[in-house]
Amino acid sequence: MAAAARRTGEATPRLRAELGAIGRCAEHSVGLAGGGHRGALWTLGLLVSAAALDPCARGAEVTRTAKRIAAHTDRGAPRRPSRGSTMSATYGAAGARGEARAGFPHVRRALTALAGARSAGASEAEARLDALLTVMSTLQDTELLHTAGPVGLRHVQAGARGVLEAGGTATEAGRTALSALDADLHARAWSPRGSAGLLAGALFLDSLPVTTSGRPGRPGPTGSR
């Protein structure tokens, strides 16, 4: 996908069509390997391509470029509706496509949560969990809408907010709340997979190396996260 973006050089319908074709091949391969999530492929594919189009961009700049790519229609996409698009149409959720066309607001929220948790002294694992919970607390996750319905989605959102309001995973109260939420989700066989895909996108953007001058390059002495 990055190579396709470099060849095309700009966010055009042609690039959007090529990314769609690559993504469908990837979905097929991942399916043969035993699983995967098309929302994560969509998110990472657009962000990787956007970063390749503008190697100097970081954070919100990359999501804005991804938004321009996603604005084009993929004329090669199958006409049959996906599970996510069906849930979006049924419940009015933005879904993966809506997230991209809005410039990935939940990816940006996750980046903010990562930075905030790190600044407060959280470990890297705790910061990433808090970022995931931040996304879960507000995202209209179409995977959860499919498996749990709107009432189940609100239940999960409330559980995620409860962990954060308890102080986050860096605190004893937050860890206790997270353990209870995790056990509850396992018991119900509910998975916030849409939130996980957006966290993956945030972690990709967070990993892009930045020099001390703020420009891309080799990581400094502390490395990139």
pLDDT at 159 over 50: yes
pLDDT band, residue 70 (cuts 50/70/90)? very high
CA 163 to mean position of chain CA atoms: 20
Which residue type occupies 23? G
pTM of the complete model: 0.85
Q: pLDDT digit string (tens) for 173-192? A: 999 999 999 999 999 999 99
Tell me what pLDDT residue 225 has. 43
CA 38 to mean position of chain CA atoms: 11
User: Class for domain 2-74+89-207, per CATH?
Assistant: mainly alpha
The CA distance from 90 to 157, in Å, is 19
What are the DSSP calls for 171-223, one per residue?
Answer: SHHHHHHHHHHHHHHHHHT---HHHHHHHHHHHHHHHS-B-TTSSBSS--TT-
Mean pLDDT along residues 195-224: 70
